[in-house]
Amino acid sequence: MTIHPVTILGEPVLHRRADEVKAFDGQLKALVADMHETMDAANGVGLAAPQIGVGLRLFTYKMENDDGVPTRGVVVNPTLTVGKISGNAPDPDDEVEGCLSVPGIDYPLKRADWVRVRGFDADGTPLDFEATGWFARCMQHEYDHLDGKLYVDRLNARYGKKARRAAKSNGWGVPGLTWMPGVDPDPFGHEPKQ
């Protein structure tokens, strides 16, 4: 398994629709293993293939949930049915989201509290499950990556303006920027694993 650099806002693969996975083979299983390794090293709860520069429709996740879904997994070629998203302003305490490809910053974002996820595991076995609460948020966030969207693209006007200023001050928005989990300082301040 290999830990990969995480692409940062501005890398073209993050801003275009990813391609369907065509082959459920050893190459795919190796990619999934690398994604899990990278996600763990980055202290992430999810990682989409475009975040390591691979334009394919799959993401890994690691999140406790109350939905009877394994806490660690992969979804290949997913489709999402998304519940209603409230028109209320996002709660700045309880609805804050971050992203490994927008390292070190987070903003409130309103998401649906329920989604239905369909897709396949790394062996090509069909998956079909419901996700609620923060697990639903994770599914929506990772799925967006596969359509070339980052969570900052969905922010309301107030937080979107802040995100654009932060991106500019960090020099993001251009190709070629990455950070290396386990080597570079953790952008979200997580303690190193023992």
| pLDDT of 110 over the 70 cut | yes
* Burial environment of residue 114 by CB neighbours within 10 A (0 to 12, 13 to 18, 19 or more): middle
The predicted-structure confidence for 3-50, as pLDDT tens digits, reads as follows: 999 999 999 999 999 999 999 999 999 999 999 999 999 999 999 999
> Quick one: DSSP state of residue 132?
E
Give the model confidence (pLDDT) of 121-180 as tens digits.
999 999 999 999 999 999 999 999 999 999 999 999 999 999 999 999 999 999 999 999
Residue positions annotated with a catalytic role: 142
pTM > 0.85: yes or no: yes
